[in-house]
Amino acid sequence: MVPAKDFVKRMVVEIDGHPHIIEHITVQTPSARGAATLYKIAARNLKTRSRVEKSFRGTDSLPESRFEKRPIQYLYRDGDQIIFMDETTYDQFTLPAADLSEQLPYMTENMAGLEALLVDEQPIAISIPDTVDLLIVETAPGVRGNSATGRTKPATLSTGHTIQVPEHLENETLVKIDTRTGEYLGRVTS
Q: Last residue of some domain: 62, 96, 111?
A: 62
What's the domain range around 76? Answer: 68-127
Q: Which of 16, 31, 62 is the last residue of a domain?
A: 62
Q: What is the pLDDT of residues 155-186, one digit of tens each?
A: 999 999 999 999 888 999 999 999 988 999 99
Q: Are residues 17 and 48 in the same domain?
A: yes
Same domain, 54 and 83: no
Q: How many domains is the chain partitioned into structurally?
A: 3
SS3 percent helix, strand, coil of the chain, rounded to 5, is 5, 55, 40
- Asked if 144 and 164 sit in the same domain, the reply is yes
Q: What is the pLDDT of residues 78-91, one digit of tens each?
A: 999 999 999 999 99
Per-chain mean pLDDT for the chain: 88
Distance between CA 50 and CA 47 in Å, rounded?
A: 8
CATH of the domain at 42: 2.30.30.30
Residues 172 and 102: their CA atoms lie apart, in Å, by 24
Q: What is the pLDDT of residues 82-118, one digit of tens each?
A: 999 999 999 999 999 988 888 999 999 999 899 998 8
Average pLDDT over residues 14-36: 83
Burial class (CB in 10 A: 0-12, 13-18, 19+), 15: middle
Do 105 and 144 lie in one domain? The reply is no
Q: Is the pLDDT of residue 11 over 90?
A: no
Residues 156 and 138 in one domain: yes
Q: Which residue has the higher pLDDT, 68 or 157?
A: 157
CATH code assigned at 87: 2.40.50.140
Over range 4-9, report the average pLDDT.
85
Give the pLDDT score at 85.
95
Last residue of a domain, one of 83, 108, 127: 127
182: left (phi over 0), alpha (psi -120 to 50) or beta: left
Q: Are residues 56 and 72 in the same domain?
A: no
Which of 80, 136, 77, 78 is CA-nearest to residue 109? 77
Whether residues 55 and 94 share a domain: the answer is no
Do 82 and 120 sit in the same domain of this protein? yes
Residue 57 DSSP SS3: strand
